[in-house]
Structure 1
Amino acid sequence: MNWQNISFDWNQARAFLATAEAGSFSAAARALGLTQPTLSRQVAALESGLGVLLFQRVGRTLRLTEPGLDLLDHFRAMGDAALQISLAASGRSQAVSGRVSITATDVMSAFRLPEAIKRIAEEAPGIEIDLVVSNQIQDLRRREADIAIRHVRPQEGDLVARLLGETTAHLYAAASLLDRLGRPSTVDDLREFPFVGFAPVDRVRSVLNGMGLPIDRSQFKVVTDNGIAMCELVKHGLGVGVMTRETSRMLPGVECVLPDFQPFPVPVWLTTHRELHTSKRIRLVFDILAQVLR
Structure 2
Amino acid sequence: MHSCMDWRSVTFDWNRARAFLVTAEEGSLSAAARALGMTQPTLGRQVTALEEELGLVLFERVGRGLVLTQAGTQLMGHVRAMGEAAVGVSLAASGQAQAASGHVAVTASEVYSSWLMPRIARRLRDVAPGITLEVVASNEIRDLRRREADIAIRNARPEEPDLIAKRVGEDEGTFYGSIDYLERLGPITDPADLARAEFIGFADNTQFMEALQKRGIPVTPAQFPVLTSSHTVHWEMARMGVGLGTVPCGLGDAAPEMRRVLPDVTFRFPIWLVAHRELRTSPRVRIVWDLLAEALPELLSHPE
Report the TM-score when normalising by structure 2: 0.88
Structure 1 residue 37, shift from structure 2 partner: 4.4
The SS at the match of 2:225 is strand
Structure 1 residue 3, shift from structure 2 partner: 10
Amino acid in the other structure paired with 1:160: I
Structure 1 residues 9-33: Cα deviation after superposition (integer angstroms, max 9, x where no partner)? 1111122223334455455445445
Amino acid in the other structure paired with 1:43: V
Task: Give the alignment of 1:6-25 within 5 angstroms.
Answer: 6-25=10-29
Residue of structure 2 equivalent to 1:146:
150
> 2:200, 2:234 within 8 Å by CA — same for their partners in 1?
yes
Residue of structure 1 equivalent to 2:242:
238
Q: Are residue 284 (structure 1) and residue 287 (structure 2) matched?
A: yes
Amino acid in the other structure paired with 1:114: P
Distance across 2 between alignment mates of 1:103 and 1:188 = 37
Structure 1 residue 4, shift from structure 2 partner: 7.0
Structure 1 residue 6, shift from structure 2 partner: 4.3
Root-mean-square deviation (Å): 2.2
Amino acid in the other structure paired with 1:273: H
Structure 1 residue 258, shift from structure 2 partner: 1.9
Amino acid in the other structure paired with 2:79: F
Structure 1 residue 215, shift from structure 2 partner: 0.9
The SS at the match of 2:156 is coil
Distance across 2 between alignment mates of 1:257 and 1:3 = 47
Distance across 1 between alignment mates of 2:192 and 2:35 = 50
* Worse-matched range after superposition: 68-77 or 87-96: 68-77
The SS at the match of 1:120 is helix
Residue of structure 1 equivalent to 2:217:
213
Aligned-pair identity in percent equals 48
> 1:146, 1:273 within 8 Å by CA — same for their partners in 2?
yes
Q: Are residue 64 (structure 1) and residue 62 (structure 2) matched?
A: no
Q: Are residue 197 (structure 1) and residue 201 (structure 2) matched?
A: yes
Number of aligned positions between the proteins? 291
Change (3 A) 1:6 1:204: same
The SS at the match of 2:103 is strand
Change (3 A) 1:211 1:86: same
Task: Give the alignment of 1:95-244 within 5 angstroms.
Answer: 95-244=99-248
Distance across 2 between alignment mates of 1:99 and 1:178 = 45
> 1:172, 1:243 within 8 Å by CA — same for their partners in 2?
yes
Distance across 2 between alignment mates of 1:62 and 1:190 = 37
Residue of structure 1 equivalent to 2:268:
265
Change (3 A) 1:33 1:258: closer
Change (3 A) 1:65 1:182: same
Distance across 2 between alignment mates of 1:68 and 1:136 = 36
Picking from 81, 91, 102, the partner of 1:87 is 91
The SS at the match of 2:250 is helix
Distance across 1 between alignment mates of 2:27 and 2:286 = 20
Change (3 A) 1:252 1:39: same
Structure 1 residue 286, shift from structure 2 partner: 0.7
Structure 1 residue 104, shift from structure 2 partner: 0.1
